[in-house]
Structure 1
Amino acid sequence: MEILERNFVSTDWITLVFLASLVMIALMKLYKPQLLLGYTIAFFSQGFIESRSDKNPSIFSIFHVLIFLFSLLIFSLSIHLLLVNNFTYFKFSFLYTFSFVSAFILIKYTLVKLIVLTLNIEDDTRYFLFSKTGYLYAISLWLFPVLILYQYWYSNSKILIIYMLLLLGFRMFLIAKNNKKLIFNHFFYFILYFCTLELAPLLIIYKTTTI
């Protein structure tokens, strides 16, 4: 009898990622339940983002480290699952995707910070930058339960992509709406910023994954 080789791909690591994310949510709820709720409903509460911007909290606080790591895990897992399920030639591990997303976000944050400090516009752009980050945290919280459903119940990549695009589109709308004065007063610099730090990296990622 000929022995047939059986290919088996374990998805236990996905369960561990979900478990780690759930633990982070539990810790955030225990540590700062009002902050967690605020970021969860940030799309519908402009006052929350404004209050966080006025307080200008440290990015190294326990809560912000937790929600930052949570967001990294969720966005990395979303990108990884979509790449694995839609591009048969994508053979990289989740650790590679997580490292790439982490490096991308940290480099982008460093560039933005350098630009803001160099041009001495920290006060003028504080709310704008807080709204960008706050709405990303909100997206990760909204994406978490949908990813669980996607992985264990209904794995439809098109629905997940549409859901993510709707969230990102709504985020862009709110950022533009709530920062319209800043954007219109410095429209040229906003377009330059958007093309350099928002649009160009996405095009590079797209080209990289389609080569």
Structure 2
Amino acid sequence: MKLIKPNQLLGYTIAFFISGFFQKKTQDNTPFYSFFNLLLFTFSSITISLFLFLIIYSEKQEHNFFNFLVLLSILTTYFIVRHLLDYFLSNILGLSLATKYFLVTKSGYLNSLSLWLFPFIIIYQYAFNNSLFLIIIFFILFIFRLFLILINNKKIVILKLFYFILYFCTLEIAPLLIAYKIITTT
């Protein structure tokens, strides 16, 4: 990714700390299906799948590549369906102009989260054996992501509060609760 678009990769990496990167990205009207974005989507899917794999299958004897591929395919399918749902719902409800920036920041902060999570996965793999380390880091990054999404989109959130709450509960919180239920019951 660094060879293809180093400035854009740097922008995603420091997007948590600077404002304006996603505004510029929205104004440039960068297509989601560009090669760099697809590569970044693949990296994010693999990183988040690896995180979930290390948390769910914390026992070493359960670590096999098939389990990882199943988890990767489920997560990738979820991300694709969520992206398509976001796109279609915003067009059906006539919110396409108002929510474009929101959708760009939401997916952009997810990419930033995965770029920041990857080094912590490496540190966990070689330095820590406690999965609580990874869970704490992930939730800190995830809460930071939600906070930045709310702060950067407060105008949209206030104007379309009902739609935002409906979206947030169904596509952001519900999958986390389902994943938590699956993890704790197995």
Moved over 6 A (4+): 88-92
**Contact preservation (8 Å) 2:44, 2:111:** yes
Q: Which residue among 157, 179, 204 is the counterpart of 2:131?
A: 157
Question: CA shift at 1:190, angstroms?
Answer: 1.0
The answer as to whether partners of 1:84 and 1:90 remain within 8 angstroms in 2 is: yes
Q: Is 1:111 equivalent to 2:90 in the alignment?
A: no
Return the offset for 1:61: 1.1
Structure with bigger gyration radius: 1
RMSD of aligned alpha carbons: 1.9
TM-score, with length taken from structure 1? 0.82
% of aligned pairs identical? 46
Structure 2 unmatched runs, 5+: none
AA in 2 matched with 1:61: S
TM-score, length basis structure 2: 0.92
- CA offset at residue 210 of structure 1? 3.3
For 1:89-128, what aligned pairs fall within 5 Å after superposition?
93-128=67-102
Larger RCO (alpha carbons 8 Å, 6+ apart): 2
Please state how far the C-alpha of 1:169 moved relative to its aligned partner: 0.4
Corresponding pairs, count: 184
CA separation of 1:148 and 1:201: change in aligned 2, threshold 3 A? same
The Cα of 1:153 is off from its aligned counterpart by 2.0
Secondary structure of 2:58 counterpart: helix
Quote the residue 1:133 is aligned against. Answer: 107
**Taking structure 1 as reference, are residues 157 and 209 closer, same or farther at Cα in structure 2, changes over 3 Å only?**
closer
Is there any run of 5+ residues in structure 1 with no aligned partner, and where? 1-27
The answer (yes or no) to whether the contact 2:86–2:103 under 8 Å persists in 1 is no
